[in-house]
């Protein structure tokens, strides 16, 4: 992979990169299409990164569907698939870890200690191996994308980080490899996350600017769904990830909830333009 990357750069190409953990769905494929629109060649990776799973999380049972993933990427016209083994990525004696201070401690970082240390370390390694001009990430994992942008800036990496929109199912549920774990009933119930965010979008369009009222309304909607066990709902500044009291600049409404054994996250992007707030699901 490193040889290919060096050659692509020597040939004056602008490689694009889509890192994934596999079990590919439309969300992943939308990143592939975004990469193809701007880059050649396009490299996708599939690596279920052990270091970003905590003890008791779903590393063992995470869906692994390499053959059908390979077919999807081929059909989509991806040029290279990089699918390393854990022993290649973390050989014996591995000791170097990347952390972004502060931004890693909140929200998902608080719920999943060590998660972002694993994510950032593997993303830095993958960027070093693939050497893309641009790397494509989904806004579904908004905190992850923010941390990767920070790491890229802080470490002077050569890759530009492109954040792409959330792809949703028909009922609004954000596509996720973990949706495969949901029973039909849990799947129906999980659409409550979308409805809560959509209610926030409507309230903002009607002029609501108070973060406490917006988050209280989301909490109330999710509380009414008996299968949902809410972890957090927060309205935060998109750059600092610190809670805001009133909407200003670019904010994110972030939430996480459990449906049975499955933990799902989702968010709403709220942008201020010329004094108006625009919310994007
Ligand atoms: P994963 O395989 O879950 O690690 O995700 C790989 C990449 O796909 C990450 O950048 C995710 O943010 C992105 N992604 C996952 N689900 C979606 C979605 N529903 N819409 C857009 N991007 C997504």
Percent helix / strand / coil, the chain, rounded to 5 = 40, 25, 35
Atom of ligand 1 nearest to the CA of 166: 20
Predicted TM-score (pTM) of the model is 0.98
Does residue 266 have its Cβ closer than 6 Å to ligand 1?
Answer: no
Does residue 140 have its Cβ closer than 6 Å to ligand 1?
Answer: yes
Does residue 179 have its Cβ closer than 6 Å to ligand 1?
Answer: no
Residue 239, SS3 per DSSP:
coil
Nearest residue (CA) to ligand 1, atom 10: 137
- Reply yes or no on whether 187 is catalytic: no
How far, in Å, is the centroid of ligand 1 from the Cα of 207? 31
Provide CB contacts within 8 A for 126, sequence distance 6+: 17, 19, 45, 47, 82
How far, in Å, is the centroid of ligand 1 from the Cα of 210? 30
- List the structure tokens of 64: 């692994």
Q: What pLDDT score does 26 carry?
A: 98
- What is the residue-level pLDDT of the chain in tens, covering all 281 positions? 999 999 999 999 999 999 999 999 999 999 999 999 999 999 999 999 999 999 999 999 999 999 999 999 999 999 999 999 999 999 999 999 999 999 999 999 999 999 999 999 999 999 999 999 999 999 999 999 999 999 999 999 999 999 999 999 999 999 999 999 999 999 999 999 999 999 999 999 999 999 999 999 999 999 999 999 999 999 999 999 999 999 999 999 999 999 999 999 999 999 999 999 999 99
The distance of Cα 184 from the centroid of its chain, to the nearest Å, equals 24
Does residue 236 have its Cβ closer than 6 Å to ligand 1?
Answer: no
Q: Strand pairing of 80-82 and 134-138?
A: unpaired
Q: What is the crossing angle of helices 142-154 and 115-130, to 10°?
A: 60
Which of 134, 137, 132, 131 has its CA nearest to residue 119? 137
> What's the CA gap between 238 and 160, in Å, rounded?
18
- Can you spell out the DSSP letters for 142-202? HHHHHHHHHHHHHTT-SPEEEEEPPPB-TTSPBP-GGGGG--HHHHHHHTHHHHHHHHHHH
Q: Which residue carries 């909607």 as its tokens?
A: 221
Given the residues 25, 28, 187, 278, the one annotated as active site: 28
């Amino acid at each position: 992979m490193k040889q290919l990357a060096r050659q692509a750069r020597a040939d004056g190409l602008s490689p694009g990169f889509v890192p994934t953990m596999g079990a590919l769905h439309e969300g992943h494929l939308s990143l592939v299409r975004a990469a193809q629109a701007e880059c050649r060649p396009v490299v996708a990776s599939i690596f279920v990164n052990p270091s970003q799973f905590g003890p008791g999380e779903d590393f063992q049972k995470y869906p692994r569907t390499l053959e059908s993933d390979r077919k999807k990427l081929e059909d989509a016209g991806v040029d290279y698939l990089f699918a390393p083994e854990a022993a290649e990525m973390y050989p014996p004696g591995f000791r170097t870890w990347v952390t972004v201070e502060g931004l890693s401690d909140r929200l998902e970082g608080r719920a999943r200690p060590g998660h972002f240390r694993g994510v950032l370390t593997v993303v830095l390694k993958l960027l070093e191996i693939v050497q893309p001009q641009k790397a494509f990430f989904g806004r579904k994992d908004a905190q992850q994308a923010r941390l990767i942008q920070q790491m890229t800036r802080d470490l002077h990496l050569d890759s530009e980080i492109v954040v792409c929109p959330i792809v949703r199912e028909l009922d609004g549920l954000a596509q996720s490899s973990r949706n495969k774990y949901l029973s039909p009933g849990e799947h129906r119930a999980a659409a409550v996350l979308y409805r809560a965010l959509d209610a926030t979008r409507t309230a903002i369009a009607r002029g609501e600017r108070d973060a406490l009222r917006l988050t209280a309304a989301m909490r109330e909607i999710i509380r009414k769904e008996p299968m949902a066990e809410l972890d957090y709902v927060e309205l935060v500044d998109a750059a600092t990830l610190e809670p805001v009291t009133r909407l200003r600049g670019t904010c994110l409404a972030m939430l996480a909830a459990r449906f049975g054994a499955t933990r799902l996250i989702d968010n709403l992007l709220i942008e201020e333009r010329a004094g108006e707030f625009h919310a994007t699901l």
